[in-house]
């Protein structure tokens, strides 16, 4: 009984549950395509590059909301927003300008695809309870 309630609370409120679910879904997609020999290793490296930039973007987003609630400095929040956009754009520039030798831009796009899910899960990831 105790384990069931711990699991329910972890699923409802855990940031890591959402992130691990996103890693699992995109990772299974990439590994399945790699196993079927539809894609090459550069898709996998692109996915890793895209997903690490996604995780850094989540960290910066959490930090910016925390600092905004503490300091109420909206210019710092704008700075973190622009920094996050740069972190999302940098892997795409890396993938486009190296002629797809190491990182494929399609793999980077799949790695960055959980950004679209942030629209629905941003409240739980940032742990915003009240203003």
Q: What pLDDT digit, counting tens, does each position of 42-52 carry? A: 888 888 888 88
Q: Rounded to whole angstroms, how far apart are CA atoms 70 and 84?
A: 20
Total count of domains within the chain: 1
Top-confidence residue, 101 or 130:
101
Q: Is it the case that residue 7 has pLDDT exceeding 60?
A: no
Lowest mean pLDDT among 10-14, 27-31, 86-90, 116-120: 10-14
Q: Which residues, in sequence order, are CB contacts of 76 under 8 Å at separation 6+?
A: 64, 67, 68
CB 30 within 8 A of CB 91: no
CB 56 within 8 A of CB 114: no
What average pLDDT does the segment 19-36 reach? 82
Lowest mean pLDDT among 68-72, 80-84, 86-90, 117-121: 117-121
Domain residue limits at 85: 1-129
Predicted TM-score (pTM) above 0.75? no
For position 122, what pLDDT does the model report?
65
Q: Rounded to whole angstroms, how far apart are CA atoms 16 and 124?
A: 10
For position 9, what pLDDT does the model report?
60
**pLDDT tens track for 62-82:** 888 888 888 888 898 889 889
């Amino acid at each position: 009984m105790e384990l069931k309630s711990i699991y329910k609370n972890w699923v409802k409120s855990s940031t890591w549950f959402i992130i691990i679910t996103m890693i699992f879904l995109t990772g299974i997609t990439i590994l399945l395509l790699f196993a079927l020999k539809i894609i090459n290793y550069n898709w996998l490296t692109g996915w890793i590059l895209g997903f690490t930039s996604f995780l850094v973007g989540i960290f910066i987003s959490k930090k910016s909301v925390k600092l905004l609630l503490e300091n109420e400095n909206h210019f710092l929040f704008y700075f973190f927003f622009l920094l996050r956009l740069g972190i999302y754009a940098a892997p795409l520039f890396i993938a486009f300008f190296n002629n797809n030798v190491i990182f494929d831009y399609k793999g980077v796009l799949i790695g960055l695809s959980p950004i679209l899910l942030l629209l629905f899960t941003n409240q739980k990831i940032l742990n915003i309870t009240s203003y």
